[in-house]
A and B are shown apart, each in its own frame.
Chain A
Amino acid sequence: MLKIENLNIKKDNRMILREVNFEVNAREIYGILGPNGAGKSSLAYAIMGCNDYQPCEGKIVFEGKEINNLSIWERAKLGITLAWQHEAHFEGITVEDYLLIGMKKMNRTEAGEALQNVLLDPKAYLKRKVDTTLSGGERKRIELAAIFTMRPRLAILDEPDSGIDILALDSVVGFVRNLRQRGTTVILITHRADVAKIAERAALIGEGYLVKEGSSQEVVEYFESRCLVCPQFR
């Protein structure tokens, strides 16, 4: 479904991704692991087509079509979306309206169901604003709910577990599985080994390079034994 070929990204005169190659199959959960600053989020922004993350070399191919020159919204129209690690806030926009934005057919009932899917009570949240009055964890869940309502073909989830308390981690795992069950392919970016294990396959990014690719079990073990013990990656 998604093929990354020799991807190189330069930002502020510094190479942040180098010669990255991997493929993601349809309806797969594909994990991206790596320490802070490794280039995981940059990879997500590049796939989404964000400004400042255009490849200086290499190709991003989605369902057989190179998408390097497509804008963010054109990629979204193809079915690609991204849940940012640090979500934006929107003054004056209700959660309900925010959830409706990405739907192909606006359906208020489905907006409520999406909130339930991330363990938020629709009665308590639909009329709230997507602004700074939400806690980090609430905002994160609403972002995931927005992904759910979009029914994307490919969802890139950038650290969906960050800002979520340990007790709610199971709900994030459940959310990712639900998403896949609805037909969405998931790229799951995390540095939590316990979350990464729900992926079938994974890649480890370090200092902009794809260091290892394999089953999530193999990559997690590699990450835990080599990266997490290395002081420079902590």
Chain B
Amino acid sequence: MEDYQMMLKAYQEAGGTPDIFKDSKIAHLVVNQNKVLGSRSINGLILTAKEKEGGIDVDLRVKEGTRIAHPVHLCFGILPKEGRQEIKLNAVMEKGADISILAHCVFPNPIKVQHIMDATYILEDRAVLKYKEVHYHGLTGGIEVIPQSKIKVGKDARIMTDFLLVKGRVGRLDIDYQAEVDENGVIEMVTKVYGHGDDEIRVKESGQLFGRGARGLIKSRIAVRERAESEVISELRASAPNARGHVDCIEIVQGEARAKAVPLVHVLHEDAQITHEAAIGRVNQKEVETLMARGLKEEEAVDVIIGGMLK
């Protein structure tokens, strides 16, 4: 089977729909290790990828005022058991652009795999970006994933990021997202991860709300079981009038797993406000007992609760 077909098969197994790559209205990029297997730009959106040793450089630009009707599909992966992939992504949403991106990162059989995503997102004024990244790392756990993003949100612009790694093993995950938000800009960063075995999860997300009326939400939902460990650092800094932010972290711990949460909240202006809430520990007993009173065993109830939280 050719690499492209194998990649699509892995993509499908990870929950993707390969048929979208045939649709001429949908921009996409499919990459195995450092090989570009498929790519399409569409009117108003330029997507270029350049192969290099150990990875690729990707440029994505959405023209001013362009609203892209269908989500752009990105599929990154490493099919062999060993390999390294470094992706440098530069994305620019020009003024008033509006786009959704759905990225699938697929590593079906990793024994010694490293995936590094070094991304920059620039949202010019009034631009909107919804970015969803779904990972599937198989069941072996021999993988290290390091997603790093620097995000600039212009005036009245909005970005919503959604990172999901809830099926299969995690391996070692080290997320580092940093955002700066200008006047009336909005950032919402949501991360959901389920760690098993000896997975290591580190999530660091920070937002600088420096513009008047800037808004920020950092939401983390992490579940760890067996010997997995997680550390979540969520930082919001509000330094302008009417800047508002909220940090919301839930980590559920089972078995010998360990979890740590560090909310960092800085308010540097008297008219700014940031709130935070965090709950770390076992599944809420009342939720468990409620489901048990519907006839579920305790472990089934816990699975339902964690499944809902990570959905």
Contacts and interface: CB of A to CB of B under 8 A. Distances in A.
A84 interface: yes
Q: How large is the interface on A (under 10, 10 to 19, 20 to 34, 35 or more residues)?
A: 20 to 34
A51 B294 contact: no
21 contacts: A48-B293, A51-B285, A72-B293, A73-B297, A76-B293, A76-B295, A76-B296, A80-B293, A84-B290, A88-B284, A90-B308, A92-B307, A92-B308, A92-B309, A92-B311, A93-B305, A101-B291, A101-B294, A101-B295, A146-B294, A150-B295
B287 interface: yes
Contacts of B51: none
Interface in A72-129: 72-73, 75-77, 80-82, 84, 87-93, 101-102
Interface of A: 48, 50-51, 71-73, 75-77, 80-82, 84, 87-93, 101-102, 146, 150
B286 A81 contact: no
B304 interface: yes
B36 interface: no
Interface residues of B, number: 24
Contacts of B287: 88-90
Interface in B254-311: 284-287, 289-298, 301, 304-305, 307-311
- Please report whether the interface of chain B is mostly helix, strand, loop or mixed according to DSSP: helix
Interface string B79-113: 00000000000000000000000000000000000
Contacts of A75: 293
Residue from the set A50, A73, A75, A77 with the largest chain B CB neighbour count within 10 Å: A73
B292 A93 contact: no
Nearest to A82: B293
Nearest to A77: B295
A93 B294 contact: no
A67 to B, nearest CB: 13
B304 A72 contact: no
B308 A87 contact: no
Contacts of A48: 289, 293
A31 B287 CA distance: 26
B292 A72 contact: yes
Contact of B286 (A71, A77, A84): A84
B289 A50 contact: yes
Contacts of B250: 91
Contacts of A51: 285, 289
Nearest to B306: A92
Nearest to B192: A92
Contacts of A71: 292, 298
B309 A91 contact: yes
A71 B296 CA distance: 11
Given A51-B289, A88-B287, A73 B308 contact: no
